[in-house]
Structure 1
């Protein structure tokens, strides 16, 4: 088992996950990094721009800006981030973390 470097409250679909005693569930390391990345993209406003944009060229530009935003996270290896459009509002984020190996996320807009 790897050392707990990052601990956070687990959030799924915008809500805290509660355990049997109604206490918040914790997540750590890769899951914590993953949800931090998703929240940083949402908070940046780039998701709204992506949803509103119809031009394929400008959408590609927004995805590049998202990749650059993710690379600013010190826990991510620069140059390893790739965000792809899976169609039907699905986006896939692949990156390499410094301490926990590869990371793959799927988000639906």
Structure 2
């Protein structure tokens, strides 16, 4: 039995299986999806991508890391956000019960 359960969202819409039923996500994938949505809802990601000043970018990343750290399902101090390429970021963290998660934004 899963501890966390949600519906998979892809491209701002529910993902459907072959019989047109919503696809569920559980535990680690559910936590990762929640974190991605939380980051998008803050609006800080748009600010981060638009910012050219390195110090202000770092400040924005730090704010996002602190917001991710607020999730009680994560091990404190494990959230990291790194830039993969301009406009693309990788969020990594360790969950208390389900291991490591990675989210690309």
TM-score (norm. length: structure 1): 0.91
Misfit runs of 4+, over 2 Å: none
- Does the residue aligned with 2:17 lie in a helix, a strand or coil? coil
Match of 2:95 among 81, 97, 103: 97
2:25 corresponds to = 27
- Superposed CA RMSD in Å reads 1.1
1:74 corresponds to = 72
Unaligned runs of 5+ in 1: none
Instruction: Work out the CA distance in 1 between the residues paired with 2:18 and 2:85.
Output: 36
Provide the aligned length of Structure 1 versus Structure 2.
105
CA displacement 1:5-63 (0-9 Å, x = unmatched): 00000012222101112111101001100010000011111112112211111001000
- Does the residue aligned with 2:20 lie in a helix, a strand or coil? coil
- Does the residue aligned with 2:52 lie in a helix, a strand or coil? coil
